[in-house]
Amino acid sequence: MPKVAKKKLPSGKRHAGKNKTTRPRAATTTNTPKPKPQHIGWNSLELEDLNPLLQRHFVVGQKVMLARVLLKKGCIVPEHSHHNEQVTHVLEGALKFWIDGKVLVVNAGEVLTIPPHMPHKAEALEDTVDMDVFCPPRADWIQKTDQYLRGR
């Protein structure tokens, strides 16, 4: 029996059979807006008063949050933990941390990394300014449900 050449269809499909091939489809586009860079001055953000000794403001990216935290001498951040990884950089002052069964003092110019789910507590040994980085962003801070900081 003579062989009959299979005719290609315009779409790239062949006639039905085991050797059926198709061209890959183009990816569909979504209506998700493209992320844009943010350029923000700390002075343009309102400070949130959490209690008489604690203020903060923060910037939220797609997967990270940067917070500037102002603590008056004697301010206590009660023991807590969260699923977020945290990096604390003390810019001015000093913070005493109770973490992982140890007491650490983090002074200006020093950094402390806190793994996810690790309980920790802090006290400002003097008026302190620190930068906290959280990954992912702290939903409780964004939604203002962080009662442990609000003295309630």
Q: Indicate whether 12 belongs to any domain.
A: no
Q: Which pLDDT tens digit goes with each residue over 44-101?
A: 999 999 999 999 999 999 999 999 999 999 999 999 999 999 999 999 999 999 999 9
Q: Which two tokens stand for residue 117?
A: 């789910």
Residue 149 near residue 77 (C-beta atoms within 8 A): yes
The conformational region for residue 100 under phi > 0 = left, psi -120 to 50 = alpha, else beta, is left
Minimum mean pLDDT among 28-32, 50-54, 147-151: which range?
A: 28-32
Q: What beta strand segments (E) does the chain contain?
A: 48-51, 54-60, 65-71, 76-80, 85-92, 94-99, 102-107, 111-114, 120-124, 128-135
CA distance 99 to 80: 10
Give domain status of residue 35, yes or no: no
Is residue 16 assigned to a domain?
A: no
pLDDT at residue 35, as a whole number: 87
**3-state DSSP call for residue 141?**
helix
Any domain includes 25: no
Residue 59 in any domain: the answer is yes
33 found inside a domain: no
Per-residue pLDDT, 52: 96
What is the pLDDT at residue 28?
A: 58
pLDDT: which is higher, 40 or 10: 40
Q: What is the CATH number of the domain that holds 59?
A: 2.60.120.10
pTM above threshold 0.95: no
User: Per residue in 22-44, is it b (16+ CB within 10 Å) or e — as a string?
Assistant: eeeeeeeeeeeeeeeeeeeeeee
Asked whether residue 82 is assigned to any structural domain, the reply reads yes
Instruction: Give me the pLDDT at residue 120, please.
Output: 98
Domain membership flag for residue 7: no
- Tokens standing for 24? 């890959």
Domain that holds residue 135: 42-149
Domain count, the chain: 1
